[in-house]
Structure 1
Amino acid sequence: MHKVIILGSGNIGFALALFLSKSNSYDVTVLGRKAKTLKKIQKNLKITVLKRDLEDKKSYENLLENYDTVISALPYYLNIFIAKLALKAKINYFDFTEDVKTTQAIKKIAKKAKENQVFIPQCGLAPGFISILAYSLYQQFDEVYSIKMRVGALPLNPSNKILYNLTWSTEGLINEYCNECFAIKDSKLVSTQALEGLEKFSLNGLEYEAFNTSGGLGTLCETLENKVKELNYKTIRYKGHKALMDFLINDLYLGKNKRRKILKDILEYAIPTTKEDLVLIFCTVIGKKNSLLQQKTDVRKIYNETFYSHKLSALQITTALSLCTVLDLYVNNKLKKASFIKQEDISLEDFVSNRFAQEFLEKD
């Protein structure tokens, strides 16, 4: 049985442990810092748990040697350290990171990988599944003019002026709203500003907006530069959200590196969490096929749901099951042989036919 250690016992770490342990194909251990949370996981899932100070790098000494794979569900700033530990322990490495510089560093680490050792970052929803979907649509054309990727994790019943609830890592959210974004324009890689490029649209009577955020398209710009004329990624929110975040981040300068902790404290103090959410996924590609100008669009809407008597948010479901799918494809030799695998290297056909992906992609 493939032995997996999950670092992080938060919402995503729990969902990972739930799906992998219930599959009866993986021997799962969860490492976390909160004794109460770990006790609950151990009681409900009947798996091994370990308590560690996740910020203390000494606590990881000799931790990974007895496993086949480590999955980091930790804040992005710990992932380079964990990837180096995985390299030393000669085990596989998976994560969800949206941070561009972290992914670039992990790619360099992967160049030193041992035989049959793999590093696969960005395995969640965005980055993650959205890149697999977009690249699959791209491959259906002879010539591609534009690729537009839009993803949003939204509360079903927003009740505050910001029209948002916290559904995942606050550090990751701030990263997306503050860091440099990338796109392809006129076939060349370009840098864009987070919170810019505002679009507005309606769906089923509700008004939404979308704007630039960092990291959601993963390595796709690198892969498709000089191959498409235009490519961009934007996050979907309810109309009005962007203006308030722009005020906090830019007008009050809370997006500056030294002030992001203040922004994190404000958001976590004032914005409640929720599992009553939905995930919207849009991908539109325009190009030529057999000399005809065509457009192909893939739209998906995923709701929160109960699995094995545990209510999970839509973001938990899509993020955790996306990584479970990629891991399962790797374990079953459905991925290419390489030390570093990008999300767009993964076949959409193989992805959607996997047992984990079918838990959320095959539903209405």
Structure 2
Amino acid sequence: MIESVAVFGLGKVGELVAHLLARAGFEVVGFDSREREIPSLRTSVLDVTDADALRESLGRVDAVVSCLPYHLNIAVAEAAHDTGAHYFDLTEDVPTTNRVIELAKDRAESAFVPQCGLAPGLIGIVGASLAATFDSIRSIELKVGALPQNPTGLLGYSFNWSAEGVVNEYLNDCEVVRAGERRMVPAMTETERVLIGGIELEAALTSGGLGTMCQTYEGRVQRLDYKTMRYPGHFRQMQFLFEELNLRDERELVGRILVDAKPPVNDDVVYLHAAVEGVCEGQPFRRNHVRAYRPIDIDGQTWRAISWTTAASAVAVVELVAGGRLPASGFVRQEDISLDDLLGTHSGRLFETHGKVDA
């Protein structure tokens, strides 16, 4: 049973996660490191580094959704383990997920569902659901781009998402499947051209977006990878920044510089491109799922594309666990979630009504 949910971190995504949970019928309480006044949401100040206070807050709810920076999630997951709360997060950090998997093995009565959100998360759900329609699979190619609709400058980018997360995905090695086996390859490589609705983009390998999919599909596919999409020329500029200016080891500094230079915008767009090739009904076939999500109005408030796509996917997964469509115990992989099931939830319906790309 999940009736009450705590949301940790009330930024743009966390606030909407709380709102969508309430819309879906859950009792919600929000926690943040500073005082937040959000209409119709009960909020409290919480220092998640205070282990006792953290466990006390989770002792009063059935589940927690962590929308915190990735480096704070392990503490929340360990507290959820100790208190018996179901655990959900938005992380793309591999060590964090590995720790969550360990905790899930030791707490049979709780669900541990990391990597909810967009990538990893929705993109993996889409990819796995496409793959399930094939007799045999040759390749799974997954791509996501969170971008300004009206880019300027050489980077053509705005930091509507965590700068810390973006820098990590550009610099950490990427897990892929090549020739049926898992491998680690450098980020910002294997650049390719992508067209979505007449918009030209470039895509390059980045880390974290696949979650656990390489483990799941090793030996079942010849090729599996995740790439981030940007406007043409972006990755060349980032390689100049990290390599020629020798800033690879200055991640925090680079993050501050980039956010100051390319602050968030309200007119953003999230591009999603999933493609699976294999044999379908005895014939070679390629199936694509392509979407372009823009800001939408939810209950009288406009939300950025990156905020609502991330929040809606995460809350839909909570709904599926609460409704018995996903296991209520142990580790749950994103690729085990059916896209049709997700679209059937209160929050998942947003993806049905938005994002279609004109041919």
Answer whether TM exceeds 0.5 for this pair.
Answer: yes
Q: 1:1-364 residue pairs with structure 2 within 5 A? A: 2-23=3-24, 25-35=25-35, 38-39=36-37, 41=38, 44=39, 46-54=40-48, 57=51, 59-115=53-109, 117-256=110-249, 259-363=250-354, 364=356
Q: Which amino acid aligns with 1:110?
A: A
What is the number of equivalent residue pairs in this alignment?
354
- 1-structure distance, mates of 2:266, 2:18: 17
- CA distance in 2 between counterparts of 1:128 and 1:269 reads 28
> Normalising by structure 2, what TM-score?
0.95
Per-residue CA distance 1:191-242 (angstroms, 9 max, x = gap): 1111111112333443210001111011111100000011111001111111
**Secondary structure, counterpart of 2:124 in structure 1:** helix
Amino acid at match of 2:54: Y
Contact 1:176 1:215 in 2 (8 A): yes
Task: State the one-letter code of the partner of 2:120.
Answer: P
C-alpha distance in 2 between matches for 1:204 and 1:141: 26
Deviation at 1:55, TM superposition (A): 5.0
Measured at CA, do residues 337 and 28 of structure 1 come closer, stay the same or move farther in structure 2, by a change above 3 Å? closer
Deviation at 1:312, TM superposition (A): 0.7
Overall identity of the aligned pairs, in %: 36
Contact in 1 for aligned 2:49/2:75 (Cα 8 Å): no
Give 3-state SS (helix, strand or coil) of 2:22's partner: helix
Q: Distance in 2 between matches of 1:54 and 1:159?
A: 38
After superposition, the CA RMSD in angstroms is 1.5
Residue 133 of structure 1 aligns with an amino acid whose one-letter code is: V
TM-score (norm 1): 0.93
SS of the residue aligned with 1:34? coil
Structure 1: where are the runs of 5+ without partners? none
Deviation string, structure 1 residues 289-333 (Cα, Å, up to 9, x no partner): 233111111111111112112211111111000011000011011
Q: Which runs of 5+ in 2 are unaligned?
A: none
Report the alpha carbon displacement of residue 56 of structure 1 after superposing the two structures with TM.
Answer: 5.1
CA drift at 1:54: 4.4
Query: Residue 81 of structure 2 aligns to which amino acid in structure 1?
Result: L
- Whole-angstrom CA distance in 1 between matches of 2:351 and 2:101: 29
Residue 60 of structure 1: how far off its partner (Å) = 2.1
- Of residues 259-268 and 195-204 in structure 1, the stretch that sits farther from structure 2 once superposed is 195-204
In structure 2, C-alpha distance between the alignment counterparts of 1:10 and 1:253, rounded to whole Å: 32
Q: Which amino acid aligns with 1:47?
A: L
Deviation of the 1:141 alpha carbon: 1.3
Q: Deviations over 1:90-114 (max 9, x none)?
A: 1100001001111111101111114
